[in-house]
Amino acid sequence: MVGTIGRTLVVLGLAICGFALYLTVGTSLSEHHDQVLLAERLNLPALHNLVPAGHTVAAPQPTPPIGSAIGRIIIPTIGVNQVIIEGTGEAQLEAGPGHYPGTVLPGETGDAAIAGHRTTWGRPFWSLDRLRLGDPIIVESPLGRFTFTVTGAVTVLPTDLGAILPSTTPSLTLTTCTPKFSAARRLIVRASLQASAVPRSAAHLRWSTPLLAPRPPSPLVLALVVALTALAAVLTVVLWRRQRLASVLVGLGGMAALSLTYTLIARALPGGF
């Protein structure tokens, strides 16, 4: 009995360690794969074809479809260089920083808002708290190249709906979870546009093909997979010494179920975690 309990604890401990490894490495590999696909679809104007254009984009642009690549965000101070995807659902944030639908595009008049994960899925905003007043944030998009500078940062509750503020000038808001490894609050970094450059000749803008990402699972599916994984782990312990072949087969099934469980749980975490 004591031996069975001990083996069970060992299995559970390994499962927990595996989940921690999946969160830090597995989700980052998945996000990197999506970033490569998004970068291939992003159509940025050549730098030599850009000219200074004041502080705003001249004409309104068509709304980007959810899942499309709309630009690239570069924050030299903290080493961020990521493709921005349209949308802030779990499926989009798994692929990279997401632009809030309903807010203006970076460089247009108003407040453009972008959310990003803090500790999982590539953790693009891991060091967002290190930004200081005056630090540059660059956004490159089919509309041009826009340089913002940080004007301040605040921490709010996740239920605070005032994070995105009305603005009569081009501005940028970045949001993520805080503190690290927690979704208890939201870190909000604000920036204002300092310089911009747009293509010499305006053309009809067409956004990239959306990246199709998996939808988050339902709680019922999540509970079912967790239960099956637990059953597989128990059977592995019971058959450890009795039937080696059966133990190996059940163990392999348990590993596959654990892998699926890790994915489902990671997608069930709050958006900016």
| 71 in any annotated domain | yes
HSE (CB half, 13 Å, CA atoms) of 39? 11
More confident site: 212 or 155: 155
Q: Say which DSSP state 202 is in.
A: -
More confident site: 272 or 90: 90
| 11 in any annotated domain | no
pLDDT tens per residue across span 47-81? 778 888 776 675 667 889 999 999 999 999 999 99
pLDDT above 60 for 212: yes
Which structural domain, as residue segments, surrounds residue 87?
30-199
Distances in Å between the alpha carbon of 29 and those of 5, 32, 180?
A: 35, 5, 20
Lowest-pLDDT range, 17-26, 51-60, 85-94, 134-143?
Answer: 17-26
| 13 in any annotated domain | no
pLDDT above 70 for 191: yes
pLDDT above 60 for 249: no
Distances in Å between the alpha carbon of 236 and those of 1, 32, 250?
A: 15, 34, 6
| 16 in any annotated domain | no
pTM for this prediction: 0.80
177 is catalytic: yes
| 259 in any annotated domain | no
Q: How many domains are contained in the chain? A: 1
| 6 in any annotated domain | no
pLDDT of residue 18: 60
Reduced to 3 states (helix: H, G, I; strand: E, B; else coil), residue 72 is strand
The catalytically annotated residue of 17, 48, 55, 177 is 177
The catalytically annotated residue of 17, 55, 117, 204 is 117
32 is catalytic: no
Residue in 71, 259, 253, 261 with CA at minimum distance from that of residue 148? 71
CATH of the domain at 140: 2.40.260.10
| 25 in any annotated domain | no
In whole numbers, what is the pLDDT of the chain averaged over residues? 80
| 96 in any annotated domain | yes
